């Protein structure tokens, strides 16, 4: 039976959530001054590849920057993703000077002289920062949070052998937009995807290199003061970095959305359609909420989960999918993005989306208790596929299971196939230290932790 919160506890919880969102600390997670080497002041130091050389920095100081020559494939590799792995929101800041004609890859998409990238072949291309053409005198800066096609195209030519401050603020489309800045001036804003969670994939500076060693291109350029933040710096803060009145070390904290989904959730299912890459992991990789293309692997924007139904062996007429959150925690809500497979020429398959679902929760993964039966609308069949939220009211669980009771459309005529695009879980924020002090510390913790438990 669900316990009833007192009015006082409810008000305290709402106040705590508000104060937590306002006071959560975030900031600089990686910083490479690149003063002739790849040593990090904050975060993981990089490994120079093919001997990039010390160069004068933007202020003319000898050895204050690092120069890369595309002809010999010079770059820096930073293990673990350089603070960008799995990030929902953040800011990237750097000084860069492109010199002479740039090599390109996927040239029609505007990827020349790439100075920043994370690449996992056949999975994802993340945080690509490049020029839109081979000639710096005529090309602007382009950005892609996920995929080889840029989402932002800067119109201002960077010029040859000219230092510029370049910054990107990024966040997923369901909380805001990505914005590109050149010398403190916005070059435009557009929706983007979350950065993929793949800790074995390195961040590369000065080139676009895959985790498997594939080489997609590099820059003939110099880099200085590359920094990664896990919050969104304001226009004023980016202006201070561009004006050199602040550095990454003292520019201060930015802001973060009040709520973001949990990362690192692991999904398992009753079946995954054999031979079609419709893996359960596609529902928890943080990307692909609005994709219409179903085949994929975890971390790639494309990809959905689909069961075997009667299409493949073993047949699956009792589909379910279970999510392991990694540890027990109080859950505020679940947001479900229904199966969204659709093609301009072949038609829509959104009828494979779930309709009636029983939600069950557990702390041990063995004994599950029903939270209730919920009905979900079919997906839209386009990129605007909306999330459908279920209030979980602070229940404490590690495992959440969705037992699919029905799907949209004629199941028998479609091999009883059923699936999902993405499922997000949001934790209840912990109360802030300031609120705990104001409300008596331990007594508030006791109230906060008195939640429904499964």
Banded pLDDT at 451 (limits 50, 70, 90): very low
Range scoring the smallest mean pLDDT among 16-25, 217-226, 362-371 = 16-25
Q: Is the pLDDT of residue 122 over 90?
A: no
Provide the pLDDT for residue 286: 86
Q: What is the CA angle 114-96-178, rounded to 5?
A: 65
Read off the pLDDT of each residue in 419-436 and give the average, rounded to a whole number.
79
Read off the pLDDT of each residue in 356-384 and give the average, rounded to a whole number.
96
Q: Is the pLDDT of residue 425 over 80?
A: yes
More confident residue, 315 or 24: 315
Banded pLDDT at 346 (limits 50, 70, 90): confident
Residue 16 lies in a domain: no
Q: Is the pLDDT of residue 308 over 70?
A: yes
- Shared-domain flag, residues 151 and 32: yes
| Chain segment 55-98, per-residue pLDDT in tens | 999 999 999 999 999 999 999 999 999 999 989 999 999 999 99
307, 322 in Cβ contact below 8 A? Answer: no
- Shared-domain flag, residues 410 and 303: yes
Of 212, 243, 274, the one marking the end of a domain is 243
Read off the pLDDT of each residue in 278-298 and give the average, rounded to a whole number.
87
- Shared-domain flag, residues 371 and 422: yes
CATH number of the CATH domain containing 409: 2.60.120.260
- Shared-domain flag, residues 47 and 84: yes
Angle, nearest 10°, between helix axes 442-449 and 7-23? Answer: 110
- Shared-domain flag, residues 64 and 159: yes
Range scoring the smallest mean pLDDT among 193-197, 252-256, 268-272 = 193-197
- Shared-domain flag, residues 108 and 76: yes
CATH number of the CATH domain containing 206: 2.60.120.200
- Shared-domain flag, residues 158 and 210: yes
The C-alpha atoms of residue 127 and residue 89 are separated, in whole angstroms, by: 12
Residue 450 lies in a domain: no
Q: Which domain holds residue 419?
A: 266-427
Residues 6+ apart with CB under 8 A from 409: 351, 352
Banded pLDDT at 106 (limits 50, 70, 90): low
More confident residue, 346 or 267: 267
- Shared-domain flag, residues 196 and 344: no
Residue 204 lies in a domain: yes
307, 291 in Cβ contact below 8 A? Answer: no
Tally of domains within the chain: 2
Provide the pLDDT for residue 383: 86
- Shared-domain flag, residues 201 and 348: no
* Percent of the chain surpassing pLDDT 70: 88
Banded pLDDT at 444 (limits 50, 70, 90): very low
What are the DSSP E strand ranges found in 53-184? 53-55, 65-68, 75-78, 90-98, 112-120, 124-131, 141-146, 152-153, 164-170, 178-182
| Chain segment 194-242, per-residue pLDDT in tens | 888 889 999 999 999 988 777 788 899 999 999 999 999 999 999 999 9
pTM here is: 0.83
More confident residue, 416 or 210: 416
The C-alpha atoms of residue 316 and residue 329 are separated, in whole angstroms, by: 31
Residue 351 lies in a domain: yes
The C-alpha atoms of residue 127 and residue 144 are separated, in whole angstroms, by: 6
Q: Could you give the 3-state DSSP secondary structure of residue 445?
A: helix
Residue 254 lies in a domain: no
The C-alpha atoms of residue 154 and residue 316 are separated, in whole angstroms, by: 49
Residue 36 lies in a domain: yes
Encoding tokens for residue 200?
């074995």
Residue 451 lies in a domain: no
Q: Kindly report the length of the chain.
A: 454
Provide the pLDDT for residue 361: 98
Q: Is the pLDDT of residue 34 over 90?
A: yes
Provide the pLDDT for residue 391: 98
Q: Is the pLDDT of residue 11 over 50?
A: no
- Shared-domain flag, residues 175 and 323: no
Residue 92 lies in a domain: yes
- Shared-domain flag, residues 350 and 231: no
Mean confidence (pLDDT) of the chain: 88
Question: C-alpha distances in angstroms, 101 versus 70, 140, 245, 392, 435?
Answer: 10, 14, 32, 56, 57
- Shared-domain flag, residues 237 and 292: no
Range scoring the smallest mean pLDDT among 55-64, 289-298, 336-345 = 289-298
More confident residue, 24 or 406: 406
Provide the pLDDT for residue 47: 97
């Amino acid at each position: 039976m669900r316990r009833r919160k007192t009015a006082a506890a409810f008000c305290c919880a709402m106040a705590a959530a508000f104060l937590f969102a306002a006071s959560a600390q975030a900031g600089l997670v990686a910083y490479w001054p690149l003063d002739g080497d790849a040593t990090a002041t904050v975060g993981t130091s990089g490994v120079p590849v093919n001997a990039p050389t010390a160069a004068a920095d933007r202020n003319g100081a000898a050895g204050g920057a690092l120069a890369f020559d595309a002809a010999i494939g010079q770059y820096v590799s930073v293990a673990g993703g350089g603070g960008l792995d799995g990030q929902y929101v953040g800011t990237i800041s750097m000084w860069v000077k492109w010199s002479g004609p740039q090599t390109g890859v996927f040239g029609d998409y505007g990827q020349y002289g790439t100075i920043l990238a994370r690449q996992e072949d056949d999975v994802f291309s993340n945080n690509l920062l490049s020029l839109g053409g081979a000639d710096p005198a005529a090309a602007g800066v382009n950005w892609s949070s996920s995929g080889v096609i840029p989402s932002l195209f800067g119109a201002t030519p960077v010029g040859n052998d000219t230092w510029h401050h370049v910054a990107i603020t990024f966040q997923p489309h369901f909380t805001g937009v990505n914005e590109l800045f050149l010398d403190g001036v916005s070059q435009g804003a557009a929706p983007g995807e979350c950065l993929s969670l793949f800790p074995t994939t390195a961040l590369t500076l000065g080139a676009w290199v895959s985790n498997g060693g594939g080489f997609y291109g590099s820059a003939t350029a110099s880099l200085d003061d590359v920094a990664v933040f896990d919050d969104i710096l304001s226009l004023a803060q980016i202006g201070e970095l561009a004006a050199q009145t602040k550095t990454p070390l003292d520019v201060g904290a930015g802001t973060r959305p009040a709520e973001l989904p949990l990362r690192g959730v692991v999904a398992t299912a009753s079946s995954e359609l054999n031979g079609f890459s419709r893996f359960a992991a596609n529902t928890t990789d943080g990307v692909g909420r609005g994709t219409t293309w179903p085949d994929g692997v975890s971390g790639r924007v494309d990809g959905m989960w689909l069961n075997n139904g009667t299409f493949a062996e073993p047949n699956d007429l009792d589909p379910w999918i279970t999510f392991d959150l990694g540890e027990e925690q109080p859950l505020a809500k679940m947001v479900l993005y229904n199966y969204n497979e659709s093609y301009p020429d072949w038609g829509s398959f959104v009828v494979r989306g779930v309709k009636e679902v029983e939600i069950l929760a557990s702390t041990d993964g063995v004994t599950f208790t029903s939270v209730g039966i919920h009905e979900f609308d079919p997906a839209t069949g386009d990129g605007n596929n909306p999330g459908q939220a279920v209030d979980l009211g602070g229940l404490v669980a590690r495992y959440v299971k969705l037992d699919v009771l029905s799907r949209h459309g004629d199941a028998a005529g479609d091999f009883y196939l059923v699936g999902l695009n993405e499922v997000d879980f949001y934790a209840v924020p912990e109360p802030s230290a300031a609120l705990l002090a104001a409300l008596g510390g331990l007594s508030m913790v006791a109230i906060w932790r008195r939640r429904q438990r499964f």
